[in-house]
Every structure is written in structure tokens, then in C-alpha cells.
Amino acid sequence: MEILVFAAVLASAACHAGWNALLKLKLDPALSTSLVAIASGLVTLPFAVMIGPPNASAWPYVIASVIIHIGYYLALAEAYRHGDLGHVYPIARGSAPLVTAILAATLLGEALGVFGWSGVIVLTAGVLLLAVRGGRGARHLDVRSVGFALMTSATITAYTLVDGTGARIAGSAAAYSAWLFVLQGAVMTVYGLMRVGPSLGNHLVANWPTAAGGAVLSTAAYAIAIWAMTVAPIALVAALRETSVLFATLLSTLLLREPWLVARIAATLIVLAGALLLRVR
């Protein structure tokens, strides 16, 4: 993987961990995800209008991705309702890269090579190890949080493959990303009104700094990832993006006061080893 793409995806991972941490800082997770998605649509709307739409052939992928992302937001919110960031996040992100790599190789014919596959497997193992002793600990394992985290993981695999393919035929990764966020924001506005009611607007105004911060981080994170998937194998980008768990672990410890355990140190080293293998691929 080229050094520019490698560095960009690492930056994307940091942004992704940042907006997930915001979901746990203040508001109800379901409300937080709605506000971030709505704010993302508002933030990207001017860019979407300025850039213009993607190629017509990409619209089925955009629409499919919007539907999948709604499931992602809902599953993620429920996972955070029942579990800690340091526990939910590694499970949600950890199992997706390997499944994505297998499906990308099978459906898209991507060849990763020995180092590529080794990097994906090692990084996935490290990410999952972070969840073994993370958060509230195995003695207080919440089955619901694990279930919703795994549902989140399934949606991650699905939208990664859809967006990686769609962006490649869109003619412009920027146009694809911008309109994806605009449509997501519109759909999540409807969802938020159904769940919260007319007070949704008041919540958005009252919590605009948090929502806008999350919007900037989330749009930057995924826009970079979508661009990277147009110039590098989808499976490798998906795997490297999961180094976000390292940033999430740091944030969960510093901001959310979740415990730092020895297992996390070992897992961190394994994740870094996997990332290096992806770099030399």
C-alpha cells in the first residue's frame, strides 16, 4: 500500500474513533447517532451541490449504502446503550475486516498476497483481543451489547463492499461520499422525528457543537476511506481502518475512564504488527 494511502487511512481511523467517543460522552446513543447523521448531511450538502452527483450507474450503490448505514447507526446505538466503548467498539470493528477480505476476494477477485492476508488476519486477531478484557470485563458481559456489536459488524462488511464498488464506478469518490451523507442525513431526520418527535430540532440546536464535531469527524473518516478504496484493495483499506480501535482504546481510557488492562497492551502490539504487514504488502 502506498505511503500516502496508508497515512490517509490511519487519519481516517483516528477520526472514526473520535466521533464514536462523542456518542458516549453526553447524550443517549440513539439520539446522538441521529444528530451526528443529520449534522453530517447538513455539513456536506453545500459540497454535494457544488461537486454535483456521481455517475448514474453509482446511484443503486448509494441507495443500498444508505439503507445499510441506517441499520449500522441503529445497531451501533443499541450496542453503546448496553456496553462500554472499549468493549463494543473492538467487537463491532474486529470481525468485519476478515469477512470483508474473504468476500472481496470471492466476489470482486481481489488478490491480497501473503503479506496482505497475513496483515488482515493478524490485525483482526489484535482487534478482537482488545474486546476480550475490555470495558466492564468478562464477568459482566452483556449479551445484548455483544449481539448488537456483531450486528454492527455485519453492516460494516456490507457497506464497505457496496461503497468500495460504487465509488469506483461513480466517476468521483468525493461526489459519491457527499451525496451518500446527504441522503443518510435526510433518512435519519425522518427516523429521529419518529423516535424523538418535534423536539428533535431543539436537541440539534442545543447540542450543535457536539453534533457538528461528530459530523466533521465521521464525514472525514469515511470520505477518506471511500477514496482509499478507489486506489487500493478494499480488503486492505477495511483492515487498516480498524486501527481505529487503538485510538478508541486511548479515548475510552482518557475521556471515559474505562480501565486500561494488560491484555489491551498485548492487543495493541498485535494490531500494530498487522498494520505493518499491510504496509509492506
- pLDDT, greater one: 99 or 139: 99
DSSP letters along the chain, please? --HHHHHHHHHHHHHHHHHHHHHHHSS-HHHHHHHHHHHHHHHHHHHHHHH----GGGHHHHHHHHHHHHHHHHHHHHHHHHS-HHHHHHHHHHSHHHHHHHHHHHHS----HHHHHHHHHHHHHHHHHHHHS-TT-GGG--HHHHHHHHHHHHHHHHHHHHHHHHHHHSS-HHHHHHHHHHHHHHHHHHHHHHHH-TTHHHHHHHTHHHHHHHHHHHHHHHHHHHHHHHHS-HHHHHHHHTTHHHHHHHHHHHTS-PPP-HHHHHHHHHHHHHHHHHHH-
Highest mean pLDDT among 112-121, 245-254, 267-276: 112-121
Task: Give the separation between CA 225 and CA 207, rounded to whole angstroms.
Answer: 27
pLDDT band (50, 70, 90) for residue 238: confident
Q: How many domains does the chain have?
A: 1
Q: Please give the grid coordinates belonging to residue 144.
A: 445484548
Whether 141 has a pLDDT exceeding 60, the answer reads: no
Task: Express each pLDDT in 70-90 by its tens digit.
Answer: 898 888 878 877 777 667 777
pLDDT average, residue stretch 103-129: 83
Per-range mean pLDDT, top range of 131-140, 162-171, 210-219, 268-277: 162-171
Mean pLDDT across the stretch 240-268? 69
What pLDDT, in 10s, does the model give residues 180-225?
999 999 999 998 888 888 888 898 898 888 888 888 988 999 999 9
Q: How confident is the model at residue 137 (pLDDT cuts 50, 70, 90)?
A: very low
- pLDDT score of 179: 97
Comparing 276 with 108, which gets the higher pLDDT? 108
Residue percentage of the chain with pLDDT more than 90: 29
Answer whether 123's CB lies under 8 Å from 242's CB: yes
pLDDT in tens, 40-60: 999 999 999 999 999 999 999
CA–CA dist 281, 277 (Å, integer): 6
More confident residue, 75 or 178: 178
pLDDT at residue 133 greater than cutoff 70: no
Note down the domain range covering 175: 3-280
Average pLDDT over the chain reads 83
pLDDT in tens, 142-151: 678 788 888 9
**pLDDT digit string (tens) for 3-12?**
888 889 888 8
State the pTM of this model: 0.82
pLDDT score for 123: 81
Grid cell digits, residue 172:
468521483
